[in-house]
Amino acid sequence: MLDRYEALQKNYSFWQYKYGDYVANEPLAAGSYETDVLIIGAGYTGLTCAREIRKEDKNQRVMVLEANDIGFGASGRNGGFNMTLFGVEPEVTLLRWGREKTREAQAYMQQAVQYVKGLIESENLDSDYEHTGMLRIAYTDKQERRLQKTFKLLSDITKPGSFEYLGGEETQRLLNSPHIKGAIYEPETGILDPIKHVRSLKNLAEREGAEIFENTKVISIAKDHAGVVVHTDTAAIRAKKLVIATNAWTHNLKSSPKVANRQAPVWTYQIVTEPLTAEQWKSINWEKRMSIEDNRQLVHYMRITHCGRITIGGGSIGLEYNDKKMNLWKNENTWANLEQHLKWIFPTLSDIKVHYKWGGCVSVNMDMTPEIGFLGDQSIIYATGCIGHGVSLTQLNGKLIADLVLGNNTDLTKFWIVNRNAIPMPPGSMLRYAGTKLIEGILKTIDLYEEGRPKV
């Protein structure tokens, strides 16, 4: 097993480091192959899709290629929130798509959470799952007023009991922090260990007969009259159907027709503390173990780990001018700000030490809305735009994509994100970088206005 210092230098997530020794599948051997379905990316989307296809039709040959070890990408380094947030904010979805589509999106996300929970329970997955609910908290009067509007919108478009509004005193009985003005409580959400979960999904997909190859990087994708041809350094695979499930890494794929301008990677950062003592747990009164997000534009998210630590992420984001490099995982300033913010929320933890820190990227598109689409005809399907809220979303998306691949007309395939008229990213690195920095600046300005002072 890697020691902690070596794992940090390799940018392993805490979940990867804690998992211990892992034996990856062999890479795809040199040669030529034919398959019914080829899936690029063995994260939540790709593995769920592979399992669902094989579960319904054992005659379909399904191959899955992963460029690294399974869990290296977002599926193994996220916060582990099985949550219902779609895009960035319900108000943004309402403004862009209208009330009915916002209602449908929220229903889809509630279904997604139950899909994940149900799978873990029915298959007895070793995911460290806890269905503890979630608090969305406000720090100031201005944030609380906006939070109350969000609560009204969510209450109007969901079934009764989906959300509950708590005042400051009520919230502080659940969470001992002097800075909370109010919260939305959502009982039907949960938390999990993302690396345990994604590797459990690998086992399920293989049990159904999917062939999974790790450390196998795709270098080109092309179409011809007979289907799709994908090349690695040493192999060529001809597929009747191709699923691109690479999310935040999609822009690096060399493909024809082009998929590179569907999204851009945005980096987010996390830290995790040393285990808390019994006295420290008592001081913050976090007994119900619900996950937490704050109501900032540049949101913080935090939760308790199965091993008795607190992990917190979010806040400032990382943007690369040359996103081909994909190496902006280290940000000491943001890690320090996360530690400062955690101790600001919980003053009784002022002496807590940070045990581990890491970074990873999420898939963001221009209209801040998840997307499933076709490239040209229906032989190539892609999914992008998780906006950092993909644990439940991507898994139900995987089932939806499986239905598309198999030609099934289901309630899932009718969801309006399928082949929607998405806004492409600006061409060229400079325009993309400038546009993303402008959005980041606007979000920071809103946070400064609502909080009355700079906050990390």
Strand blocks (E) in 226-348: 227-231, 235-244, 264-273, 291-294, 300-304, 310-314
Give the model's pLDDT for residue 454: 44
- How far apart CA 302 and CA 81 sit, in angstroms, is 9
For 226-242, write each residue's pLDDT tens digit: 889 999 999 999 999 99
38 sits in which H/E element: strand 31-40
What mean pLDDT is predicted for residues 322-332?
77
pLDDT, average across residues 209-213: 98
Per-residue CA distances from 223 to 11, 340, 375, 419, 421 (Å): 35, 51, 10, 19, 22
Predicted local confidence at residue 453, as pLDDT: 58
Average pLDDT in the 377-385 region? 92
Q: What is the pLDDT of residue 259?
A: 79
Query: Tens of pLDDT along 124-144?
Result: 999 999 999 999 999 999 999
How many whole angstroms separate alpha carbon 160 and alpha carbon 231?
51
Could you give the CA distance from residue 383 to residue 367 in angstroms, rounded to a whole number? Answer: 14
What are the tens digits of pLDDT across the range 173-194?
Answer: 999 999 999 999 999 999 999 9
- Report whether pLDDT(271) > 60: yes
Output 402 or 431, whichever has higher pLDDT.
402
pLDDT for 37 beyond 70:
yes
Mean pLDDT in residue range 327-333: 87
Q: Please give the pLDDT value at position 124.
A: 98
Q: Which of these, 280, 258, 248, 298, lies nearest to 427 by C-alpha position?
A: 258
Q: Indicate the helix (H) or strand (E) that contains 49.
A: helix 44-56
Q: Residue 127: what pLDDT?
A: 98
Q: Two tokens at 67? A: 């460029």
pLDDT the model gives residue 254: 76
Domains of the chain in sequence order: 23-132+192-263+367-425 (3.50.50.60)
